[in-house]
Amino acid sequence: MTSPYRYTLGNRTYNFKNLAELMAKATPKRSGDILAQVAASSSQERVVAQMKLAETPLKNFLNEALIPYEKDEITRLILDEHNKEAFSLISHMTVGDFRNWLLSDETTTDIIKSVQDGFTPEMVAAVSKIMRNQELILVAKKAKVVKSFRNTIGLDNRLSTRLQPNHPTDDVVGIAASILDGLLYANGDAVIGINPATDNISQATKLLKLMDEVIQKYEIPTQSCVLTHVTNTIEAIENKAPVDLVFQSIGGTEATNSSFGFNLNTLKEAQDAALSLNRGTVGKSVMYFETGQGSSLSANAHHNIDQQTCEARAYAVAKKFDPLLVNTVVGFIGPEYLYDGKEITRAGLEDHFCGKLLGVPMGCDICYTNHAQADQNDMDDLLTLLSVAGCNFIIGVPGADDIMLNYQSTSFHDALYARKVLGLKPAPEFEQWLEKMDIFSDMKNFILNKKMPLAFSKPLNNLLGEIA
C-alpha cells in the first residue's frame, strides 16, 4: 500500500512510511533521534520532511495514532480528552496553515485559550518542527498559563524561580544555608524544592518539616516540595507530613511511565490526597511534574517516535492533573540525547512552546551535564530567550552548580540578571513579602539590600553565638 506521505523534489521522490516517520525526520537535528535511528539521513531529507509535514492536514493526527489506542493509556488520554468543538475552528487547516494562524496578530491569547483543548500534543509538536526559534518565542509569549497555590505564577511580566537547595548528604544545616542564600537573592516563589540524596519516606518527611517550619516562621507566600517518588509522597501524606506539592517525573508513553513506577491512576490518587490537605491559600494546583526529551528513548519505550514528540505527549499527562509547575530539565539527560548548546537551546524553546500551547504552566531547568558540548554562555542565551518568551519559572541553585545531582543549572544571580534586564517581577504575593522583609533596597530596579535583613540577622547571630 502506497504511503500518503510522499514528496517529489526535482527528479527524486521521498517516501515516509507513516506519520511517525515523517514527524521524526522533520525534527531539527539532535543526537537522541540519531541514536534511535529515526532521524533524517541528511539535511535535504529533513527539509523535504518539513515541507511534507507542512502540507499534512491536522485531521490526520486524530485518525492516525502514533501509538495504537489499545496499547497505550497516554494515547487514550489524548484522544478521549480531545475537544471536537474547540478543534472545529482549525479543523480545515494543514500544519502549515496552523503555523500561520498561530503567528497571526489576530490570534490573541484569549483565542488560543479558547481553542487549545482542540490541540493534541502531536499537532503542537508537528507545528513546532516547521517554526524558527523566534516564532516559538512569539507564540509561546501569547500562550500564557497562570496557576496558583500560595502565590500566583505565570502572570505577564513575571518570572518565578524554584529555590533548589540540594545537599549531597541532605545535611539540614547545609540545606538551611542554601535556602537563606536563595531567599536573600529573591528566589523561591515557584517552590522551595529539594531533590533528596536519600530517597525514602522518613527522609522526605524530615525535609518537608524543615521547609514547612521556615515557610511558617517567616510567613513566606510560597510552597515546598520534596522531589521523591509519587508513592512515597502518598504515604507521607497518610503519615500526616506537611505536603504542599506532589512531585513526579513523567514521560509521554505508558511504557515510559511504567518504567518510572506509576500510571495515571497513581497520579489521580496523589492529587486527591494532596487536595485533601487543603494547604493552598490562593489556589488548588497541587502537582509538580518534571519532563525532559530523551526519557522515553532512555527507557526503551519510545515506539520509534522522535524524542520531541514523546516529550509533547508528556504534557497531556501533566495537563490532566492541573499542575502548579511543570519544567523540562532540558539538558540533564546528557549529550547522547541533546549534543550541544545549540540542540539544548532549540529543545528548551520547543518544550516551552508545546507545553504552553497545550495549557501547561511551563518552566525550565536550563541545564547541561559536564560531558555535554555546552557551557554557561549557552545557558545565558537560553535563559534570556525563555525569559523573553514568558517562561513561568526557572531553577535557582547556589553557584549554578548542583553538588548533589552533579550538573550545571542556573544560579540565584542568573534569575536576578533576567529580572533586571527584562524588568520581570516575582509572583505578586512573593513580591510583597520581599518588600516587607527588606530583601531589596530598591525594589523597582532589583537592587539588593547590602545589609542582612533584620528578620534573618537576629536568629543567625543567635546561632553563631551558640556555636562560638
**Cα 350 from Cα 368, distance rounded (Å):** 17
Greater pLDDT, 61 or 462: 61
Tell me if 164 is assigned to a ligand binding site.
yes
Tell me if 376 is assigned to a ligand binding site.
no
Instruction: Please list the residue range(s) of the chain that carry CATH number 1.10.220.70.
Output: 6-142
pLDDT over 70 (residue 160):
yes
Read off the C-alpha cell for 109.
491569547
pLDDT tens profile 362-412: 999 999 999 999 999 999 999 999 999 999 999 999 999 999 999 999 999
Tell me if 323 is assigned to a ligand binding site.
no
Tell me if 414 is assigned to a ligand binding site.
no
Tell me if 248 is assigned to a ligand binding site.
yes
Greater pLDDT, 451 or 99: 99
pLDDT tens profile 275-310: 999 999 999 999 999 999 999 999 999 999 999 999
Read off the C-alpha cell for 212.
514547612
pLDDT tens profile 305-331: 999 999 999 999 999 999 999 999 999
pLDDT tens profile 359-370: 999 999 999 999
Instruction: Provide the pLDDT confidence category of residue 350 given band limits of 50, 70 and 90.
Output: very high
179 CB neighbour count, 10 Å cutoff? 23
What's residue 454's pLDDT? 87
β-sheet bridge partners, residue 325 = 288
Read off the C-alpha cell for 254.
505508558
Tell me if 404 is assigned to a ligand binding site.
yes
Cβ(364)–Cβ(386) under 8 Å?
Answer: yes
pLDDT over 90 (residue 418):
yes
Mean pLDDT across the stretch 226-250? 98
Tell me if 196 is assigned to a ligand binding site.
yes
β-sheet bridge partners, residue 163 = 192, 396
What's residue 467's pLDDT? 61
Task: Work out the widest C-alpha separation in the chain, in whole angstroms.
Answer: 83
Instruction: Provide the pLDDT confidence category of residue 1 given band limits of 50, 70 and 90.
Output: low
Mean pLDDT of the chain, nearest integer: 96
**Cα 434 from Cα 428, distance rounded (Å):** 10
Residue type, 139: V
Among residues of the chain, what percentage have pLDDT more than 70? 99
Cβ(424)–Cβ(157) under 8 Å?
Answer: yes
Read off the C-alpha cell for 374.
555546552
Closest CA to 247 of 195, 187, 172, 171: 195
**Cα 332 from Cα 368, distance rounded (Å):** 5
Instruction: Please list the residue range(s) of the chain that carry CATH number 3.20.20.70.
Output: 147-442
Domain 6-142 -> CATH class: mainly alpha
What's residue 457's pLDDT? 86
What's residue 197's pLDDT? 95
What's residue 464's pLDDT? 66
Cβ neighbours of residue 22 under 8 Å, at least 6 residues apart? 5, 16, 49, 52, 53, 56
Residue type, 115: V
pLDDT tens profile 112-142: 999 999 999 999 999 999 999 999 999 999 9
Tell me if 80 is assigned to a ligand binding site.
no
Read off the C-alpha cell for 19.
506519520
**Cα 134 from Cα 127, distance rounded (Å):** 14
CATH architecture designation of domain 147-442 = Alpha-Beta Barrel (3.20)
Read off the C-alpha cell for 139.
507564540
